[in-house]
């Protein structure tokens, strides 16, 4: 099943933002507790980090974002010319 994941925050009369990805629900594993599924990201686009306050992220959230950006870069960079590849590397650089 292909679905969209659209986490968002809206402050009435102030601002709002949403990050949207398409994700695919696929088999993961089976354990003594039953069959489990997981999501695989289909959309490959960097997430704009310019408004992220890294100090508010938990370590696992920061790791997820950095891992996601590395995946985006690795899967797309080979299809790009040198200038666009450099731009994408900058956009997907790990946050500290």
3-state secondary structure 30-42: EECCEEEEEEEEC
- Helix ranges (H only) for 3-81 are 59-76
pLDDT of 47-75, one tens digit each?
A: 999 989 999 999 999 999 999 999 999 99
- pLDDT confidence of residue 29: 97
Q: How far is CA 16 from the centre of its chain?
A: 19
Q: What is the pLDDT of residue 19?
A: 84
Summary mean pLDDT of the chain: 94
pLDDT of residue 61: 96
pTM: 0.77
* pLDDT of the residue at 18: 86
pLDDT of residue 51: 83
């Amino acid at each position: 099943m292909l679905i969209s994941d659209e986490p968002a925050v809206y402050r009435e009369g102030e601002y709002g933002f949403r990050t949207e990805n398409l994700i695919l629900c696929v088999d993961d594993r089976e354990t003594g507790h039953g069959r489990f599924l997981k999501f695989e990201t289909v959309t490959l686009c960097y997430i704009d980090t310019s408004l992220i306050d890294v100090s508010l992220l938990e370590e696992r959230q920061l790791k997820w974002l950095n891992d996601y950006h590395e995946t985006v870069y690795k899967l797309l960079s080979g299809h790009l010319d040198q200038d666009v590849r450099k731009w994408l590397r900058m956009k997907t650089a790990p946050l500290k």
